[in-house]
Amino acid sequence: MNILLTGGAGYIGSHAVVALAAAGHTPIVLDDFSNSHPQVLERLRRLLGVPVRCELGSVADVTRTRALMERHQVHAVIHFAAYKAVGESVSAPLKYYDNNIRGLVRLLQAMDAAGCRNIVFSSSATVYGQGGTMPIAEDAPRGHTNPYGHTKLVCEEILGAVQSSSRAWRVAILRYFNPAGAHVSGLIGEDPGEVPNNLMPYVSQVACGKRPYLVVHGDDYPTPDGTGVRDYIHVEDLAAGHVRAVEVLADSVEGFTINLGTGQGHSVLEVLHTYEEACGREIPYRVGPRRPGDVPTCWADVSRARALLEWRATRTLHDMCVDAWRWQSRNPEGLRRPAPVRPEPATQRLFWPGRTEIPYASPREPRGLAGIGWRPGSAWDWEKSIRWQLRPRLTGEHP
Ligand SMILES: NC(=O)c1ccc[n+]([C@@H]2O[C@H](COP(=O)([O-])OP(=O)(O)OC[C@H]3O[C@@H](n4cnc5c(N)ncnc54)[C@H](O)[C@@H]3O)[C@@H](O)[C@H]2O)c1
């Protein structure tokens, strides 16, 4: 199948690219690189042995997305593209409602116009709000504690309405628990821009000396060691879950909603000590107050995933820590390290020829690439246009 991955250059999306290609599918990436680095495409090329088809753009651009889907005869879409930082969603809620909700609506419009109505949606355990009885099953009450969680809840509702509107639509909602770890190669992994939002990348940064210590938010929860318990799932297991979901969806008459987790919880201190074993260093920490909105425990009921997808997570917490440390120690600056002014030749080749739109204009080039003699159509011009568009991200310049 030809599968469009919106946000396919991001953390989970890039691992899904590898898993889909390994399963014989053709991944096509649409990403605006708002939270990822084009270097990931070079890493994916090294892993797959061939360039990844990638289009630079936003899911909110209906015309572009529709054209991309028609050009590549896309059979299904996996919609990863969204903003995901809970804290930022509290301080900038409109940014989140706009990108996450409007982005989904525009994507669905493009899919409808292109006649492709199979969608797998990246949701989150955050839609269970304050939680309840553990393990959490898919029919547990839902809620939200921050604008990010609210966007996921609203997106699920939109997808439910779209699916009910016509039997042509098939929707798979995947609720991830806590993705962690990195690809075993150490070539791709989570690349948080500034302060990591999640525990594992934060621990990684303390382990490599980028941060002095970890703050454990509360050690007086009703859990064995008093710290919060979560269901961590290796990102490669998660990627494999997407492959199964997209395959099962193609053969199903209706959609489904599924938890993707391991069904097992680990406390903050358990993660910390397992990471210490993996990296062979002590990881300093301090105990701080509880964070508002945090629940004591959260882990998944994974029975539906096992029955419907015939999938289960196979990697342990130790595997996640070992792989996260390999990624962190080999890429201490992630993929955002200062890059040469001219991208490496391989990076230029990673984009598929064939786009014909005039790329973005800028204050310096108000007529876009037409202003510097760009003409649509040739592979040479294509590479030049992409280089021009990516220049700010590759050089760190912001025009
Ligand atoms: N990582 C987690 O802990 C976690 C947990 C639960 C759910 N999720 C969801 O999974 C999805 C993927 O998460 P991730 O961790 O890979 O995040 P990520 O930020 O690493 O990847 C998201 C990608 O989408 C791109 N993007 C954002 N808005 C876009 C737009 N409008 N058009 C095109 N591209 C756009 C970003 O540049 C980035 O490459 C998100 O929807 C997220 O909410 C993530």
Residue type, 306: R
Contact 305, 258 (CB under 8 A): yes
Of 15, 49, 81, the residue nearest 323 (C-alpha): 15
**Mean of pLDDT values over 206-222:** 95
Q: Residue 75: its pLDDT value, please?
A: 98
**What three-state secondary structure class fits 27?**
strand
In short, whether 227's Cβ falls inside 6 Å of ligand 1 is: no
- Give me the helix-helix angle, 11-22 and 39-48, nearest 10°: 20
Chain centroid, CA 398 distance in Å: 24
- What's at 170, amino acid-wise? R
Enumerate domains of the chain plus CATH numbers. 2-330 (3.40.50.720), 345-395 (no CATH)
Q: Is the CB of 205 under 6 A from ligand 1?
A: no
Concerning whether 11 is annotated as a catalytic residue, the answer is no
Q: Which two tokens stand for residue 124?
A: 């989150």
Q: Does 218 contact ligand 1 (Cβ within 6 A)?
A: no
Q: Which of 5, 12, 79, 98 to mutate to test the pocket of ligand 1 (most atoms within 8 A of CB)?
A: 12
CB of residue 259 inside a 6 A radius of ligand 1: no
What stretches of 252-378 show up as alpha helix (H) in DSSP? 268-279, 303-304, 317-330, 345-349
User: What pLDDT was estimated at residue 351?
Assistant: 39
In whole angstroms, give the CA distance from residue 335 to residue 33. 12
Assess whether pLDDT exceeds 50 at residue 210: yes
Helical pair 317-330 and 268-279, crossing angle rounded to 10 deg? 60
The answer to which of 26-35, 105-114, 341-350 has the lowest mean pLDDT is 341-350
Q: Is 232's C-beta closer than 6 angstroms to any atom of ligand 1?
A: no
Cα 386 from Cα 211, distance rounded (Å): 35
Sign of torsion over alpha carbons 90, 80, 266, 140: positive
Cα(224) to centroid(ligand 1), Å: 33
- Average pLDDT estimate for 86-100: 96
Alpha carbon nearest to ligand 1 atom 23, residue? 7
**Average pLDDT of the chain?**
87
- Greatest pairwise CA separation for the chain in angstroms: 66
Pick from 212-226, 266-280, 374-388: least confident = 374-388
User: Which one of 148, 176, 221, 232 is the catalytic residue?
Assistant: 148
Span 102-138, pLDDT tens digits: 999 999 999 999 999 999 999 999 999 987 889 999 9
Q: Which atom of ligand 1 is nearest to the CA of 9?
A: 39
Model confidence at 397, pLDDT cuts 50, 70, 90, reads very low
Instruction: Indicate the range of 33-47, 50-64, 157-171, 385-399 predicted with least confidence.
Output: 385-399
Q: Looking at residue 337, what is its pLDDT?
A: 61
Tell me the C-alpha to C-alpha distance, in Å, between residue 7 and each of 31, 80, 219, 264, 292.
Answer: 5, 5, 36, 28, 30
Q: CA–CA separation, 350 vs 260, rounded Å?
A: 31
Give, using CA atoms, the residue closest to atom 12 of ligand 1: 80
pLDDT at residue 254, rounded to an integer = 86
Listed residue (215, 177, 220) closest to 196, CA to CA:
215
Q: What is the pLDDT of residue 193?
A: 74
Residue range 142-147: mean pLDDT, rounded: 94
Over the stretch 246-295, which tens digit does the pLDDT of each residue have? Answer: 999 999 988 999 999 999 999 999 999 999 999 999 999 999 999 988 89
Which residue did the predictor score with more confidence, 10 or 293? Answer: 10
Q: How far, CA to CA in Å, does 140 sit from each of 184, 187, 259, 343?
A: 34, 37, 11, 48
Residue-wise pLDDT tens digits, 224-244: 999 999 999 999 999 999 999
Q: Quote the ligand 1 centre to 229 CA distance (angstroms).
A: 23
From the CA of 300, how far away is ligand 1's center (Å)? 21
100 lines ligand 1 (CB under 6 A): no
Nearest CA residue ID for atom 43, ligand 1: 84
